[in-house]
Each structure stands twice: as structure tokens, then as C-alpha cells.
Amino acid sequence: MKIEEKLNLIKEVGEEVITEEELKKLLQSGEELVAYDGFEPSGQIHIAQGLLRAININKMTKAGIKFKMLIADWHAMANNKMAGDLEKIQTVGRYFIEVWRASGMDLSKVEFVWASDLVKDPKYWELVIKVGRSNALRRFIRTAEIMGREESLDKLTGAMIIYSCMQTADIFYLGAKICQLGMDQRKINMLAREVGPMLGFWKPVVVSHHMLLGLQQKSKIKDQKSKIEKTIELKMSKSHPDSAIFMTDTTEEIKRKINKAYCAEGIVENNPILEYYKYIVFESFERLGIKEVIIERPEKFGGCISFKTYEELEKNFVDKKVHPMDLKTSLWRLLDKLIEPVRVHFEQDQKAKELLKKVLAYQVTR
């Protein structure tokens, strides 16, 4: 594959690339490049962590990048996931790996690394301390959103500050020249670009992928000061089960969640149904065994209509030639087909089945 082809493939993953020129130089260097992402094991894995992550990682590895996936069990403990119970966290981590195994991720080019192995090395902690010494406390507080936390001193613990230092250190300890995480991790990646040269390392290239919208995209709240009703966005969240499709959801659960999802007629902005088509369905033709998306419609509304590209589907939706319910009916069926192999894996593989049983019994905690 030519350099430009590799670059374009990685740019398909990155909603933002910092910087494209630096990425191009890395690809031209000829060295074996490592990209990394990290996951806190916490509860069930949703479609963005499962299918979308598999799609993006497969593009990165196809471009010749070696991928290191950090199972951030110690980070999850610092962030009080599973009430800080490391044994439960590690069980969830093993469940995550089984989901990816069945999600179409090319595991031959992915190395899973456990944070609990990193922390056994004194040199790792030496690096964490060096990172911690590089900036004033307020600089690390600004990265608090990487843990899904507000930047508020009264809500942060000392462990959460250590978390930021650890995640920054992870990048250099793992030899990652590319950080390939979500846009929600942007602040910590920018900190790593700042800290790297200070500690004698490199500036990692940041390839930030899009964060898939939650299905329940709109909610009404009243501002207590102004008493004015406002519309807010609800992100995909494990604490709001109907905001996401989980990787072992039943057919009925998928159908119910998609049918009640936000999808304003003719409106593209903040439309989770269109996002599922764009980022998952149109990227999964090979896995679905199709060459086009067929939207089923009653004959009185023109009958079935097919699309080979997302852009065609979006235009027809904007022109109100395709109704939201038509999109939803086809979408839940396509998602069900994509998730079916994962369900089968957890039904037929005894080890996976036991892991899922344990995970479902755990209470999801923030």
C-alpha cells in the first residue's frame, strides 16, 4: 500500500488528526509504528466500543500500524469503576476481549496489554512520577473529562490525578507513536504531546475518532437560574441503557431501542440513526454480505429503495423521500445481523458464557 493510501485510510478513522503532516512523516519513516487505545473495563460493552472499535482498528492495522489495546484495569480502579473491585474489573476486561474476538476485529495484528502488568515494573512508576512532576496540578485537573468527570476539585480524588499521569505515561511506556482514541480523550493526548519532548520522548500523533451519539439524543430540562426549558444532548452511556445498543442485546431489545430513538424527519444534525448508518452499516458491507443498503418501505410510499453510499441515503432523508421509521426498521434488522455472531459466541463458548453471566450480575458504577 502506498503512503497516500495508508494516510487516507487512517484519516477515515480520525475525525481529527494532529497533525496530518507529522503522521505522513511517520508513515514515510519505514519504522514499525505502534498505535494505542485504552479501555476501562466497566459493565457491558456497547456498539461503539465493539463494532465501531473493530472497524477503526482494522483500518489502522490495514495501513500497517501495529495496535496495542490497553485493558486499563488499574485506571478503572482509580476511577472507582465496579466500586474499585479489581477482581470484578479484570473479569469485565476478559469479557471485553471475548466481544472483540467475535466482532470481526483482526486480532492477529492487535496486542492486548493489561495495566496490571505494567504496574509491576518500577520503571513504569518512575515514568508516571516524571509525568506528574512536569506540570502544575491544575494542568492535570483540566484532563478530568477523560474519566467522564467534571473539572471540579470537590469531585476529584487523588487517585484520579494519578490516573491522568498514568495514561500519559502509558503512551511512552508502550512505545506508541500514535494515540488512536476518541475525541473525549483529546485533552490527555494533547498533554502527552506537551510532556513528551520535556521528558526526552516524542510528540505522539493524535488520531481522534468520532464519538457515536446516544440514541436518546434529546431531553428537556429546566435551567434552575433562568427557569427556561432547554434541550440537552444525552451521550451514549452505560448508566442509560436505552442510549446505546449493547453487544449482546437481543433482537427485541435492539428493535425497541432503535424504534424509540431520536430521529427528526429531514434533520441530519445530532441524528443518532443516521450516525449508525454512516459509521457502522456503510462500513460493514463485507460483514453483512451486501453491496447496498435496502430501505424497506410500503408500496404506497414508493416501495423499497436502495443506496450504495451514505451520502445518497442522507440526501434522500433530507429531501424527505425516506421517513424516519423506514430508516429505523431497516437499521435494527441490519444491526441485529451484525451483532448476531457476538450473541452466538456468548451462547456457545462456555468461557465467554460464564464471563457474560458474571458481568450482567455486576452493578455498573461510575
The 10s digit of each residue's pLDDT in 215-252 is 986 544 444 444 444 444 456 666 577 889 999 999 99
pLDDT of residue 220: 46
Least Cα distance to 205 among 53, 7, 58 occurs for 7
Q: State pLDDT tens for residues 259-277.
A: 999 999 999 999 999 999 9
Q: What is the pLDDT of residue 147?
A: 55
Residues in a beta bridge with 67: 35, 110
What percentage of residues in the chain have a pLDDT greater than 70? 90
- Quick one: 3-209 is in which CATH superfamily? HUPs (3.40.50.620)
Strands 178-179 and 205-209 turn out to be: parallel
Interatomic CA distance for residues 55 and 96, integer angstroms: 16
pLDDT (0 to 100) of residue 137? 85
Low-confidence ranges of the chain (pLDDT < 70): 145-154, 217-239, 363-366
Grid coordinates belonging to 297: 418501505
Q: What is the mean pLDDT of the chain?
A: 90
What CATH class has 238-361? mainly alpha
Residue 233: the pLDDT is 45
> What letters, b where the CB count within 10 A reaches 16 and e where it falls short, cover 134-147?
bbeeeebbebbebb
Q: Domain locations in the chain?
A: 3-209, 238-361
All three cell numbers of 365: 458504577
pLDDT value at residue 96: 96
Query: pTM for this structure?
Result: 0.88
Report residue 113 CA to chain centroid gap: 17
Q: What is the pLDDT of residue 148?
A: 55
All residues at 6 or more sequence positions from 15 whose CB lies less than 8 Å from its CB, including other chains: 183, 208, 209, 210
- Which residues have C-beta within 8 Å of that of residue 128, sequence separation ≥ 6? 162, 165, 166, 169
